[in-house]
Chain A
Amino acid sequence: MNIEAIAEWAAMGRHGLYVWLAYGSSLAVLVGLVLESRWSAARLTREIEADIAAYKESGQS
C-alpha cells in the first residue's frame, strides 16, 4: 500500500468531497451525541456529590 494508492482511494473517484462530507458529518453528530450524553451524566453526578458534601459538612459543624 503506497501513498498514491491511498490518495486515489481518498479521492473516491470524483466524489471525494461528497463521500467524506457524509462520513464526516455522521461521525461529528454521533460522537457529539455520545459526548453530550456523557457530559450531562457527569454534570449531574457532580451536582449530586456537591449536594451530599454540603449536607455532610452542615451536619458536622
Chain B
Amino acid sequence: MGPLKTLWHRLGSPRWFYGMLAPWQLGFGVAALTLLTIGTTWGLVFAPADYQQGESFRIIYVHVPTVILAQSAYMMLGVAGFVLLVWRMKMADVAMVAIVPFGIAITVLGLFTGAVWGRPTWGTWWEWTDARLVSTLILLFLYFGLYALRQAIPNAESAGRACAVLAIVGLINIPIIKYSVEWWTTLHQGSTFSVTRVSMPMQMWAPLLVNVVGMYCLFGWVITRRMRTEVLRRERDTAWVNDLFGKRL
C-alpha cells in the first residue's frame, strides 16, 4: 500500500503532476510519430490491396484507429468523471477538459473518413441504416453536450462536476444506444455493411495494429500536453508557477 498511497497523495499536487507528465509527453510524442509513420507507409505502399474493395481498402488504416479512439476517449471521460465525483481528484477534471476537444475532432474525422470509405465501397456517402455510422454520430452529440455544458456553467468547479455526472450517464447509456441502433438496423435489412472479415491476412492487419497503437500514443501526447496547459492555467497565480517561469526571464 505504501508506494500506491504516496502516488495518490502526489496526484493531488499540481506541481508534481505538471513535472511528472513532461517525460510522458515526450515519450508519447516520439512513439506516436514513429508508429504512425511506419503504419501509414506500410498500409499505403506495402500492404496488399483487398481482392473485393481494391485500393480503397487502404482507408481502413486511418478510419478504424480514429473510430476506436473516438470510443476509447469517451470511455476515459466516463472513468475520469467517476474519479472526480467519488474521490474529488482535481486532476480528473483537468483530464476531462483535455479529452473533450480531442474527442470532438476525432469523432468528426471518423465520420468523415467513414463517409469517404463508404462512397467507393457501398456507393453511398451516408447510410442511416448502418448501425456503426449512426452510433458514431450519436457519440458526437454526446461530446457536444459535454462541451456545451462546460461552456455554459461559469463556475469552473461546478462545471467540472456537472460534466462528470453527464459523462457517467452517457457512458452507462452508450451500450443501450448501440444495442437499440443495431436492433433497428437489423429490422431494415437494406444494406448491411460488413467490413471485418473473419480472416484478414497478416500483411493487412499488422499495419492496422501499428496505426491503432500509434493513434493511442497521439492521444497520449495531445492529452498530456493539454492537461499540462490546463494545470498551468489553473495555477498561474501560485508561487511554483512563478518560480518556474521567473527563472527563464
Contacts and interface: CB of A to CB of B under 8 A. Distances in A.
**Are chains A and B touching directly in their complex (CB below 8 angstroms)?**
yes
A32 B119 CA distance: 25
Main SS at interface, chain A: helix
Interface residues of B, number: 40
Nearest to B114: A22
Contacts of B241: 48
Contacts of B62: 22-23, 26
A7 to B, nearest CB: 14
Contacts of B63: 22
Contacts of B102: 33
A37 B246 contact: no
B150 interface: no
Contacts of A13: 49, 54-56
Contacts of B218: 30, 34
A33 B105 contact: yes
Interface string B211-249: 000000010011001101100110010000110011011
A12 B43 CA distance: 12
Given A49-B245, A49-B248, A25 B232 contact: no
A38 B221 CA distance: 11
B232 A44 contact: yes
A42 B113 CA distance: 31
Contacts of A37: 222, 225-226, 229
A21 B229 contact: no
Interface string A25-49: 1100110111011101100110111
Contacts of B105: 29, 32-33
Main SS at interface, chain B: helix
Nearest to B66: A26
B58 interface: yes
A49 B225 contact: no
Interface of A: 9, 12-16, 18-19, 21-23, 25-26, 29-30, 32-34, 36-38, 40-41, 44-45, 47-49, 51-53, 56
Interface of B: 40, 44-45, 49, 54-56, 58-59, 62-63, 66, 101-102, 105-106, 108-109, 112-113, 116-117, 119-120, 218, 221-222, 225-226, 228-229, 232-233, 236, 241-242, 245-246, 248-249
22 contacts: A13-B49, A13-B56, A18-B59, A18-B119, A19-B56, A19-B59, A21-B116, A22-B113, A22-B117, A23-B40, A23-B44, A23-B59, A25-B109, A26-B113, A29-B109, A33-B222, A36-B101, A48-B236, A48-B241, A49-B245, A52-B249, A56-B246
